[in-house]
């Protein structure tokens, strides 16, 4: 994959992640809109807690993806972009076109996910 194309894709991903995160935070993601939960029906409180959990999970996933994109941009800068961080073999262009932030080849990514799940 062409490094300039990869850089542009990664920078676009950062802009989109930042926009989505700003929108979620601007809408009070993870915060309850109620001042008090005392007079609420327990079902309403449970729904609000579930919504807050989902929003917090979205924010966490966005932060994780942002870190992966920033790491990929750093690999472009240091010349290691497109090389698996585990085995050192080239990451196929087809994978990088779909996941420009990919740090590992598919087999090493599967092993990484199995070990960290």
CATH number assigned to the domain comprising residue 7: 1.20.120.910
Is 30 contained in some domain? no
Is 70 contained in some domain? yes
* Domain count for the chain: 1
Question: How far apart (Å, rounded) are the C-alpha atoms in residues 102 and 95?
Answer: 8
Is 39 contained in some domain? no
For the entire predicted model, the pTM comes to 0.78
The upper half-sphere exposure of residue 95, i.e. CA atoms within 13 Å in the direction of its Cβ, equals 16
Is 37 contained in some domain? no
For the cut 80, the answer to whether the pLDDT of residue 62 exceeds it is: yes
For the cut 80, the answer to whether the pLDDT of residue 41 exceeds it is: no
How much of the chain, in percent, has pLDDT values that exceed 90?
A: 64
State residue 92's pLDDT score. Answer: 97
Question: How far apart (Å, rounded) are the C-alpha atoms in residues 100 and 9?
Answer: 7
The upper half-sphere exposure of residue 93, i.e. CA atoms within 13 Å in the direction of its Cβ, equals 4
Is 38 contained in some domain? no
For the cut 80, the answer to whether the pLDDT of residue 27 exceeds it is: no
Q: Judge contact between 103 and 85, C-beta under 8 A.
A: yes
List, for residues 67-109, the tens digit of each pLDDT value: 999 999 999 999 999 999 999 999 999 999 999 999 999 999 9
Is 71 contained in some domain? yes
Is 108 contained in some domain? yes
Residues of the domain holding 110: 3-23+46-115
Helix (H, G, I), strand (E, B) or coil at 112: helix
Per-residue 3-state assignment (H helix, E strand, C coil) for 47-94: HHHHHHHHHHHHHHHHHHHHHHHHHHHHHHHHCCCCECCCCCCECCHH
Is 34 contained in some domain? no
């Amino acid at each position: 994959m062409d490094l300039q194309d990869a850089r542009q894709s990664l920078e676009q991903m950062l802009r989109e992640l930042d926009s989505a995160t700003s929108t979620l935070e601007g809408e009070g993601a993870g915060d309850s809109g109620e001042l008090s939960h005392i007079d609420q029906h327990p079902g309403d409180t449970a729904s609000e807690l579930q919504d807050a959990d989902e929003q917090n999970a979205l924010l966490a996933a966005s932060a994780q993806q942002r870190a992966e994109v920033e790491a990929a941009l750093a690999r472009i800068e240091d010349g290691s972009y497109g090389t698996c961080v585990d085995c050192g073999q080239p990451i196929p262009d087809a994978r990088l076109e779909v996941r420009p932030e990919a740090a590992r080849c598919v087999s090493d990514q599967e092993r990484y996910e199995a070990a960290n799940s």
